[in-house]
Structure 1
């Protein structure tokens, strides 16, 4: 099938989500309206997003811990955490932030998965994480692409609740914006986000694609992010229906990715900066759990394509991720005009 912008909706993935049970429950404890989840730094924002998404006293089944100092490993985490009913929490390489310690104590995860090797998260941090869960595992690899494939393999293994992958998203592992928007959509549709280079499919990712054989592949981003040669290789070798979501910039891609969410049923929309990545790394899980998209905005304005998507979705709740330096008060005020009556 030809590369094109993709304004369509499939519902098979929602059924896959419901198989897992805990994922499709309403997430945010915040009331309707425009709300903001902020903090003094990216780690406090990460902890606050987790607290809002999982407010109950019961232990969460899983928590993903990823670097808050670089983005690659976390790009694959949000979709998988959303599918498994747990948060994505950010850490420093050499020290677990106090806010994350507090949140881990509160949510009492049954399992913690650390994404990334020792160059991303040190062994001393992994050792400390064992204070918060009886089971702590690390998914590493030689690079971000091996980590992406290994994380998918761990979730979509034989005997897991999602035996097939109805839709899989492909994003650049060399930049972050497209994968941020794709994480919520991927979880909603019941599949992972796998990373590629601009000009090729890394061997580990190719192996994972051929293993899980998705019914449909969505390539996120234009030819400057992912070359046509990669798109053509996906169509030829994986033999799945393959589409591309493209546009003038990351905001258009974000808006078009949100087409995965049906008009009239999506009540909560999450908004984060498209000019930096930390807040959105944890926010994709929250959006997926609320069965809504993660939309990217500029720090001081709402792009026109995002406005159009907000008008289509007519949310009753909009949750801004990050403080006013990430998303300005003026944007918060303007967002109120997109709430459904």
Structure 2
């Protein structure tokens, strides 16, 4: 594969990232503006074997402290990304940059890594070490969207916290396979969150239009555009319910006693009632509603979604899918499964 990943993507010259230390100045990466910060992001394609040195060189030159990875290394049976970091406690050279992974933690739906990097080709910088936070989302298919927004929201919150801790602002590097759809959706979500807090209104259409003026194909599908609306709607209606374990006891006591003067609900009740405000992106229940299966349900009010329905082997004498009212639940998006029966 060449320096352009899978599908050809051409860059505008006015905002492309220019390398200065290598033989070539070219890397498939674009500066992208945030809502209130110029060049808040660098949108780029996934590193390939022949571009991984350029990728780390760009991170060093741009002084980037955060890298967000939204793709898998193999997608649709194609290698779309080189493994551009070493195993925990090991170090490797990628072009002129030495990278050492010093921390790795499995979070809810994503992996957080800390990496030490230093420039080896310049004697002046060999003793200068920088820390990079690497956030890798685990489940965002190339040609669709995640069924749950939880991992995206939590990864973005982690990204925000890490950005706020920076002494000097530097571009956040975001990539998927070719640095368009998934990359643009996350950047647009960040843009719209800031717009919502600043203006108490959002314009998804204008946001995506502006982003595409800086890199072609950002938010590349209707499904991603719908996901973007769902993310920003959830942020507005549900707020942030994450809680540090150290603060959990205080929160529980507050939620139990604090009342709304309007309807005298506790915060427990108010938070619980928000759960059904926003439905899942995929709600088809085709198999459960088939005439042949209706009488197998205790009640039509509780039916499994098609995508999470427990699949049973079909009988040779019956071409219809075998059915039982049960769902397979993916807990915390970390590949722990339960079967739930009514």
TM score, norm. by length of structure 2 = 0.29
- Structure scoring higher RCO (CA < 8 A, sep ≥ 6) equals 1
Structure of larger gyration radius: 2
Normalised to the residue count of structure 1, the TM-score between the two structures is 0.29
Q: Report which of the two has the higher share of helix.
A: 1
